Amino acid sequence: MEDLFERADAWIAHDPDPTTKEQLASLVALARGGDERARLELRDRFMGPLEFGTAGLRGVIGAGESRMNRAVVLRTCWGLGQYLLEQVPEARKRGVVIGYDARRMSREFSEDTARVLAQLGIASVLSPIAIPTPLTAFAVTHLGAAAGVMVTASHNPPEYNGYKVYWGNGAQIIPPHDKGIAAAIEKAAPADQIASLPLSEARAKGLVRDLDPSVERTYLDGVRGLHVRSDGDRSLRIVYTPLHGVGDRLTRIALAEAGFEHVVSVPEQAEPDGAFPTVVFPNPEEKGALDLATALAKKERADVIIANDPDVDRLALSVRNPAGEYVQLTGNQVGTLLGHYVLTEGPKGDRVALASIVSSPMLGTIAKTLGVRYEETLTGFKWIANRAIELSAETGAKFVFGYEEALGYTVGELVRDKDGIGAAVIAAELCAVRKAQGKSLLDALDDLSREYGLFVSGQTSLTMPGADGVAKIRQLMAGLRGKTAEVLGGLAVESASDLLAGTRRRRDGTVERLALPPSDVLVYALEGGSRIIARPSGTEPKIKFYFDVREAMAEGESPKEAETRAKAKMGVLTADFCLFAGV
């Protein structure tokens, strides 16, 4: 413990924030007094520097090197600034766009970013209010900035915050930039020695200016230009919730400008509130997150519930079934519906569609049938966005749609990241078009299953917080790498791919190299097109297992019958793999 106390004392000595300084000092005093809970907490706060990884930082707010706090952010800003000066011509002039959401400390972290960059002579365009993530991403390319910073923890619990970085192409950073920025951060002085300009002085020198409202207007015009069809029944009744995030104003404007006037927001969740008082977990995927929206939808007899996560880069849909109950669609179902709609009814030509490797294979089947270029990327929208840019440059093909199963979608090239506002408008448009045809989105899913086969996807996530959890997740992945299986869930294993090693081992023993970048992911391809993927989460203390089952439909068979058969296979597959993994 003495080494731990010394590190904590050193951190306290250099923490420029009186609040976190006092918080940590109190914790150290309790730990020195023998309080075991305090000692465990101290270990968690100093289990290593908060890693600059998946497009930046994300962690629990609090004092210590393993937490999100002003000391960590100041050093990160300095490292980002140094890297930009080294790598980007005219970085000082092009500057950095800085946005933030309504979470606790978001404004403080964003202003610290602007102050540190100003000291380095790098100009900033700082949003004066909390804004959606897709608006920040759009502003980077629209303004020709060298980079962008969005202070957000997206859909994580209230105690989290984060620091997302965009490169000048408008996409989240990938190698080598993430590693380069991380290396620069390591060279940063202690936080209290990071020089910064007061905001008033930075503004007076022209090094900080507010994000102009015209950028928001241009973004909304771009969303309006994403439309596929202008017909359909626009009398569609919509209940909307931003889950206490920053989506209500812009999403409602975008829907209204697309002709959707019957939109009612959940009043208890409409205003930004970083405490997220009506939900345990502000993620529209989580059980109970849409309870208030569902109750309001029943009262309003809404056709569809549209939900965004707090920073508005994700989208969830819930639709009314014939019995009058609301059924929440999975991310894969929404991705397949939107992708099919854009690919079949949008502009034709040489096009590109992308999905992450953990998303349903169904979009790939649709794209290949339609002759559309299609690829799967690593998990994380940064890979989808950057690969879309590369493919468009290499082939001249137009990127039209990308998605990942965790409720992330983008239509077209307006935003090089997940865009919950653009996706909401296209989703409402699709609902309106199908309603005019006398169909719901559930009917549309049935039609796709008959045409392309029934795809069922499932996921098992195991949460393992703290330092012990990180070690357990690593042990589980190492254990899987040390095992081989010929059959899983009654299905033959056709191949096993290790993306970290960059190899695929086929059933006959042959080994081939993979083209995807290295990543801590294992993929098991099973007979008949079924699949299992195992990977640690990049943003949460979880290990995730993904399961996909493809079931051929007999002529005249109802999708319900095929789905029952597929879900039975899924249950067997899930149980067998969890046993195989030792969890």
Indicate left, alpha or beta for 89 from its phi (over 0: left) and psi (-120 to 50: alpha): beta
Q: Is 402 exposed, middle or buried (0-12, 13-18, 19+ CB in 10 A)?
A: buried
Annotated active-site residue in 110, 124, 154, 196: 154
- Compute CA distances 560 → 553, 556, 572, whole Å: 10, 12, 19
Q: Parallel, antiparallel, or unpaired: how do β-strands 315-320 and 326-328 relate?
A: antiparallel
Indicate left, alpha or beta for 113 from its phi (over 0: left) and psi (-120 to 50: alpha): alpha
H-state helical runs in 132-176: 133-142
Distance, CA of 177 to CA of 89 (rounded, Å): 15
Which H or E run includes 354? Answer: strand 351-356
- Compute CA distances 250 → 245, 258, 279, 416, 541, whole Å: 11, 12, 22, 18, 32
The one-letter code for the residue type at 110 is S
Annotated catalytic, 154?
yes
> What is the DSSP code string of 280-300?
SS--TTSTTTTHHHHHHHHHH
Contact by Cβ (8 Å): 179, 334: no
- Structure tokens, 262: 């019957």
Torsion of CA 18, 21, 24, 29, to 10 degrees: -100
Helix axes 331-345, 420-436, angle to 10 degrees: 70
Q: Which residue has the tokens 């997940």?
A: 418
Q: Helix/strand/coil (H, E, C) string of 430-445?
A: HHHHHHHCCCCHHHHH
β strands within 428-554, DSSP E: 454-463, 487-488, 491-498, 503-506, 511-513, 522-526, 531-536, 542-551
Which H or E run includes 92? Answer: helix 91-94
Torsion of CA 374, 379, 380, 384, to 10 degrees: -10
Q: Which residue has the tokens 């380095």?
A: 120
Q: Among all residues, which ones are annotated catalytic?
A: 154
